[in-house]
Amino acid sequence: MADRPDTRSQAGSNKPALALHVPEPKYRPGDSVDYSDLDIGEAGGQPRPDEACDPKDMHELAFGLVRVLGEDNKAHGPWDPKLDPETLRAMLGHMALTRAFDERMFRGQRQGKTSFYMKCTGEEATSIASSMALAADDMVFPSYRQQGILIQRGYPLIEMINQIYSNKGDKLKGRQLPIMYSSRDHSFFSISGNLATQTPQAVGWAMASAIKGDSRIAATWVGEGSTAEGDFHSACTFAAVYNAPVILNVVNNQWAISSFSGFAGAERTTFAARALGYGLAGLRVDGNDALACYAAERWAANRARANAGPTLIEFFTYRAEGHSTSDDPTGYRSAQERTEWPLGDPVMRLKNHLIALGEWDEERQDEMDRKAAEKVRETTKQAEANGILGHGLHHPFRTMFEDVFEELPWHLKEQAEQAIKEREIKFPGGLKL
């Protein structure tokens, strides 16, 4: 039998070859950075539609940038929330405390006191200012960089540090990775290391609140990279279909670990524009402008409470530090990106706004920073008395089998007995069981 001719190489030989596009960040380590092509618009230049408007009537707000604070450090335009100086100082205080907390916990990880930590430097406004626009009992479903929400809501710092150290004072009994807090009393849903799972959870919770005729809404935070997860799109579908009273906050900090935002779709359009395809209200906001973050979140909260529908907000910001203590950003991005970022630093911008109002000064800022650092230092000492990583001051070993089942299944009983027996052999009388 004659061989059949190989037609694979001939098929389509007179047609242009297909090419695959692989996103590539503009700047790599050592490159000069130029953000002049980034259109951030003028402060106060975006219109503020009625909170009950049809999403189709706010199309352009998904592509522009809602801004309030101008280069003169003053508030401009219809999105100005007109917050009183006392509220602005409280907001600044929460930011200062969060930044001091991040610095101390980062140092603790480098000293071997915990295994892992994640800072939110440069993103404080996206969590603190926006959460201040919510009611205290609105349910929040955070990602792992929203520690500012807990601090703003008054959660004790010592409980946060105990959890980070997984020590004997940890209310989660060492069952969560460091920084994955949970507090029912502060309407703060458990953080999950699985990306985007909190988005359908937030929508489902909001739907349940509506079914019960309650007045509480839900808000969730997710990184721009996580919007590529299927859970995020399921959340958008359910939110739109059932008109859930929920806010979907997308924190676009330009980087998902070492993958720049283009891999999640940023080269094609904005993340706020994803709202349009689902029929959601979409806002794109200067994430380093605390007043704009507050105003957008309040707008969305009012819309949800009025049963006018859910909102997707993109906070356009920059992750000033590494993804975590396990990451070295100098290996994949230019060091100039942080200093050249055109939207500045959220803490500095809010401080300068208060100074421009005549309600603040550098001396009071220095004192605020000093007190914040001292408070965190003293609280850390108290938490360290409960134990740090690896020195044995943790919850009894047996507790890893508790608090899940009302009655422990037989197979887990066997596993528990075996584990405890092996531990007694390895550490005779040395560790709590």
Task: Give the β-pairing of 218-223 and 246-252.
Answer: parallel
CA distance 425 to 322: 42
Is residue 332 annotated as part of the catalytic site, yes or no? yes
CA distance 115 to 340: 32
DSSP 190: P
Q: Write out the chain's pLDDT in tens, 433 residues.
A: 455 555 555 555 789 999 999 999 999 999 999 999 999 999 999 999 999 999 999 999 999 999 999 999 999 999 999 999 999 999 999 999 999 999 999 999 999 999 999 999 999 999 999 999 999 999 999 999 999 999 999 999 999 999 999 999 999 999 899 999 999 999 999 999 999 999 999 999 999 999 999 999 999 999 999 999 999 999 999 999 999 999 999 999 999 999 999 999 999 999 999 999 999 999 999 999 999 999 999 999 999 999 999 999 999 999 999 999 999 999 999 999 999 999 999 999 999 999 999 999 999 999 999 999 999 999 999 999 999 998 878 888 778 888 889 999 999 999 999 988 888 888 776 555 5
Contact assessment for residue 118 and residue 179, using Cβ atoms and an 8 Å cutoff: yes
Could you say which of 99, 104, 303, 323 is catalytic? 323
CA distance 14 to 139: 59
Question: Given phi > 0 = left and psi -120 to 50 = alpha, else beta, which region is 276?
Answer: alpha
Question: Given phi > 0 = left and psi -120 to 50 = alpha, else beta, which region is 273?
Answer: alpha
Could you say which of 35, 155, 242, 332 is catalytic? 332
CB under 8 A, 24+ apart: contacts of 71-74: 71/43, 72/356, 73/349, 73/352, 73/353, 73/355, 73/356, 74/353, 74/356, 74/357
CA distance 202 to 200: 5
Could you say which of 319, 333, 349, 353 is catalytic? 319
User: Which token pair is 375?
Assistant: 């408070």
Q: Please give the angle made by the CA atoms of 119, 348 and 75, to the nearest 5 degrees.
A: 125
Is residue 319 annotated as part of the catalytic site, yes or no? yes
Is residue 349 annotated as part of the catalytic site, yes or no? no
DSSP 188: B
Q: Distance of CA 297 to CAs 51, 91, 128, 290, 391, Å?
A: 11, 15, 11, 11, 43
Contact assessment for residue 84 and residue 354, using Cβ atoms and an 8 Å cutoff: no
Q: Which of 148, 138, 150 is nearest to 92 (CA)?
A: 148
Ordered structural domains, the chain, with CATH: 55-384 (3.40.50.970), 397-426 (no CATH)
